[in-house]
Chain A
């Protein structure tokens, strides 16, 4: 068990460019979450998947953002036409969910995005 991994760890891009981040969850985990964290703030929920289905999206997730989890394994988060306000740490977490049971969410190291 290598934990949750995220790539790249850092991304610097120019305003207007598209970027894509990848998250590989812990292998047996069926839930995957994306959060965004800006400086001095706690992480804020963006979206989550149960297996391959995207079940909830936050109002923070504008139409420039899209997330996928093909085959219920890794997930990608794409931001189109990046804006300076998108600069943040993007965190991925995974958990093992069963009915009437909750488990700890395990977080990856994050991808730090800087939009110039």
Chain B
């Protein structure tokens, strides 16, 4: 059974700092991995999708890497801003059939002005 773990559970940083969020998964048989952002009481916004054949994806100040063989991904946020405060969720897309997403519990990020 695929399990996804995110560390740390919560992170508080001062504005402007670069930071890394970690995600690990137990089964390397994945189609892709996605990072999402969730604001309190809201739905999920997709940030980056990395296909299993890729090593990284970049969008603006965000960079996500994938090491499929070791079951790890990182989300790097450069020059953090208070508007980045949210919960960040990692999800893997299981191979075969539904391609349902298996999520971690998320990392709650607070960027202090």
Residues of B within 8 A of A45 (CB): 98, 100-102
Q: Interface segment, A14-22, A63-71, A77-85, A107-115? A: A107-115
In the complex the two chains form, what is the Cα distance from A43 to B91 in whole Å?
Answer: 9
Partner of B43, one of A41, A56, A97, A107: A107
Q: A56 contacts B100, CB within 8 Å? A: yes
Q: How many A-B residue pairs have CB under 8 A?
A: 62
Max chain A CB contacts within 10 Å: which of B49, B89, B102, B103? Answer: B103
Q: B42 contacts A110, CB within 8 Å? A: yes
Q: Mark B87-113, 1 if CB is under 8 A from A, else 0.
A: 001010100011111111110000000
Partner of B98, one of A6, A56, A91, A107: A56
Residues of A within 8 A of B46 (CB): 104-107
Q: B103 contacts A42, CB within 8 Å? A: yes
Q: How far apart are A33's CB and chain B's nearest CB, in angstroms?
A: 7
Q: A42 contacts B89, CB within 8 Å? A: yes
Q: How far apart are A29's CB and chain B's nearest CB, in angstroms?
A: 13
Which residue of chain A lies nearest to B91 when distances are taken between CB atoms in the complex? A42
List B residues at the A interface (Cβ < 8 Å): 4, 31-32, 34, 36, 41-46, 49, 51, 89, 91, 93, 97-106
Subset of 12 A-B contacts with CB under 8 Å: A35-B101, A40-B105, A42-B89, A43-B91, A45-B100, A55-B98, A93-B101, A102-B51, A105-B34, A107-B36, A107-B46, A112-B41
A33-B101, A42-B104 known; 19 new pairs, CB 8 Å cut-off, are: A31-B99, A40-B105, A41-B105, A42-B103, A42-B105, A43-B44, A43-B101, A48-B100, A55-B98, A56-B97, A56-B100, A95-B99, A97-B99, A102-B31, A102-B32, A102-B99, A104-B46, A104-B49, A109-B43
The 8 closest A-B pairs by CB, nearest first: A42-B103, A107-B44, A45-B100, A109-B43, A56-B98, A107-B43, A102-B31, A110-B43
